[in-house]
Structure 1
């Protein structure tokens, strides 16, 4: 592979980040480790990025950048679709989506939600990865893995990391695509003078109530694509619009901040306020083992 291949890999694409920039082309951001309220500003190229995040490294140190190039091609297809989608929504209309649009959107969302190497690497320990391997491997495979670890732990860790990276580009299973084709899309529209934020994981879930009543709260999964628009799936086919309240947007932003190491948005005051939200990321390993056991 060429040494000129990009090495700064964004796990939140710049084409999405640019939708959130202020009038000067910058994003206000805060990350864990900063003082509460210590909000800074920078360009999208400097946020949600890590060196060689999606680079596969072989035993001779040769780097394979094909996964990052693949993400780039997907973003090239998704970017104009998202911008046209936003343009239609902002004109008060409902986007009309054909089969090609739907499948592109499903593919983009699937990989956006999987594209979390940097996100889960922060709190998934080596022993957690061993626990997963032991759970899914045959007895002989597990014995071979332990032997390899004892012989050359550095190379075994490299292979484990390569496997974690390669999984980000695994194609969506056909049965999952068919399930998604039976779902509908909800467009969550933020009211004036409010805005969504971005976090480490591009999607989140929150309890909201458009009538402002706690007893009427409902859980929604959402992915912000602009300060004024987020999207999510629903059980009713077609495209639907949900106009949110100020409190709805605040709850969604708090949910995003709670699970994030880094948050960013167009309002300095908003990011400063959200920097007070304690860090409480989801327990990936607990969720993994519950799903394998069939637990809810």
Structure 2
């Protein structure tokens, strides 16, 4: 592969980050490990990024960057659709989405979720991964994995990491795409003087209520795509728009902050406030065991 191949891989696409930039083209951010309330500013090129996150390495050390290029092509297709979508919403209208763009959106969301989870899996130890294999694999496969680990742990870890990376571009299963096509899309619009944030988990779930309280609240899953717009799925087909309260937006941002290692947004004061939210990341190991057992079944 070319030495000029990209090695700084963004698990939150820059095309999304740019929607959240302030007047100077940067984002205010806070990362766990920094002091509470200590907010800094950086450009999208330097946020939600890690060297060689999606690079496959062979036994001789040669690097394959094809997966990062694949993500780039997907983003190139999705970016103009997202911008057109935002323009329509900001003009007070509800977008009409054709089947081709519906499918593009479903595929983009599917892989956006996988990318976020892949980043969190970086915090799982090799021993954790072996535990997953032991729980979900046939006994012989488990024994082979242990023998390989004992013989050459470094190469076994490389292969396990390559397998994790390669899975990022596995296509959405046909049956899942069919399920997505039967869902509706909800556009969540933030009120003036409020804004959504970004986290290294691109989506979250929160209790929303039209009154801003908890009575009659319902839990929704959402993904911010701009400071003023987030999107989610619902059981009623078509495209629907919902105007939020300030409290709704706060709850949604707290949800993102709670499960994220890094948060960023337009408002320095807002990020400083959210830096006080206790870290409660998803249980990735439990999720791996659950998904593996489901696949085995």
Q: TM-score range by the shorter chain?
A: over 0.9
Unaligned runs of 5+ in 2: none
Match of 1:158 in 2: 158
Match of 2:126 in 1: 126
Distance across 2 between alignment mates of 1:69 and 1:292? 28
Distance across 2 between alignment mates of 1:22 and 1:277? 23
Distance across 1 between alignment mates of 2:206 and 2:133? 32
Distance across 2 between alignment mates of 1:90 and 1:67? 34
Match of 2:69 in 1: 69
**CA deviation after TM superposition for structure 1 residue 284, in Å:** 1.9
**Cα shift readout 1:184-240 (whole Å, capped 9, x = no counterpart):** 000000000000000001111111212122121110100000000000000000000
- 1:53–1:117 Cα contact (<8 Å) kept: no
Between 248-257 and 199-208, report the one with greater CA deviation.
199-208
Distance verdict in 2 for CA 1:293–1:63, change over 3 Å:
closer
**CA deviation after TM superposition for structure 1 residue 129, in Å:** 1.1
Using structure 2 for the length normalisation, give the TM-score: 0.96
Distance across 1 between alignment mates of 2:288 and 2:139? 20
Unaligned runs of 5+ in 1: none
What secondary structure, in the 3-state scheme, does the structure 2 residue paired with 1:135 have? helix
**Cα shift readout 1:225-276 (whole Å, capped 9, x = no counterpart):** 0000000000000000010000000000000000000000000000000000
What secondary structure, in the 3-state scheme, does the structure 1 residue paired with 2:123 have? coil
CA RMSD of aligned residues (A): 1.3
- 1:4 equivalenced with 2:14 (yes/no): no
Match of 1:108 in 2: 108
Match of 2:209 in 1: 209
Match of 1:178 in 2: 178
**CA deviation after TM superposition for structure 1 residue 291, in Å:** 5.5
- 2:136–2:289 Cα contact (<8 Å) kept: no
What secondary structure, in the 3-state scheme, does the structure 2 residue paired with 1:214 have? coil
What number of residue pairs does the alignment pair up? 294
Distance across 2 between alignment mates of 1:278 and 1:124? 20
What secondary structure, in the 3-state scheme, does the structure 1 residue paired with 2:215 have? helix
Match of 1:256 in 2: 256
- 1:117–1:165 Cα contact (<8 Å) kept: no
What secondary structure, in the 3-state scheme, does the structure 2 residue paired with 1:115 have? helix
**CA deviation after TM superposition for structure 1 residue 288, in Å:** 3.8
What secondary structure, in the 3-state scheme, does the structure 2 residue paired with 1:116 have? helix
Distance across 2 between alignment mates of 1:122 and 1:162? 13
